[in-house]
Amino acid sequence: MEKEGLGLEITELRLGLPGRDVAEKMMMKKRAFTEMNMTSSGSNSDQCESGVVSSGGDVEKVNDSPAAKSQVVGWPPVCSYRRKNSCKEASTTKVGLGYVKVSMDGVPYLRKMDLGSSQGYDDLAFALDKLFGFRGIGVALKDGDNCEYVTIYEDKDGDWMLAGDVPWGMFIESCKRLRIMKRSDASGFGLQPRGVDE
């Protein structure tokens, strides 16, 4: 078997972390892989179109990276119609981890943010601040009563809930979208400053 002594790393198409020229490595690997194993095919293998022959020595076994995987054209072999329709599902109706729409009163466009990238309400506050460039939101989440804004979210059942009541884990499981609402619009709805009932 030609593979003896080479080690499986060379023959496997492994994907590195993003930022390691993974796309280039994938393309190189296609040719490099074949060059490693070419014995008597008779074709002139040093005329590789990409111009680079990877020695294979620096191929690392790293965890699969989603960004890199999607760069192999047409793989996995799922037809483009199905791809389009499954991606759509993910972005519009996926609950919990993943991107949710964030709207803010007075801002004419919505933003999208990845809830999964925040570790807790503090993180979320910071992220929301960054999104809309307005310090007030973070304060709203933490302190509640002093702020012009209120952070609410739509949960799995379609109800609008005040952010911060439930544990973080429960929150991200059920949050479908976020809205930063003017407190004045919510007046008369019995919004107590946090800490009063505890």
Binding mask 49-88 for another protein (x = CB under 8 A): x--------------xxxx-xx-xxxxxxxxxxxx-xxx-
182 binds another protein (CB under 8 A): no
Minimal distance in Å, beta carbon 167 to another protein? Answer: 22
Q: How far is the CB of 18 from another protein (least distance, A)?
A: 12
Single-letter code of the amino acid located at 140: A
Q: Which amino acid is at 82?
A: R
| Secondary structure string (H, E, C) spanning 108-160 | CCCEEEEHHHCCCHHHHHHHHHHHHCCCHHHHHHHCCCCCCEEEEEECCCCCE
Residue 41 interacting with another protein (CB under 8 A): yes
Interface segment toward another protein; rule CB under 8 A; list 42-50, 112-120, 129-137, 172-180: 42-50
Q: At CA 112, angle to CA 84 and CA 92, rounded to 5?
A: 35
Closest C-alpha among 94, 115, 89 to residue 172: 115
We find the least distance from the C-beta atom of residue 90 to another protein, in angstroms, to be: 7
Which is nearer to another protein, 11 or 142 (by Cβ)?
11
The nearer residue to another protein, 52 or 90, going by C-beta atoms, is 90
Q: Taking CB under 8 A as the criterion, which residues in 13-32 touch another protein?
A: 13, 30
* Nearest distance, CB of residue 128 and another protein, angstroms: 26
Residues 146-175 that bind another protein (CB under 8 A): 158
Answer yes or no whether residue 194 interacts with another protein by CB under 8 A: no
By the 10 Å C-beta count (0-12 exposed, 13-18 middle, 19+ buried), 102 is classed as buried
d(C-alpha 71, C-alpha 73), whole Å: 6
Cβ at position 5, least distance to another protein in Å: 15
Query: Among positive and negative, which fits the CA dihedral 158, 159, 162, 167?
Result: negative
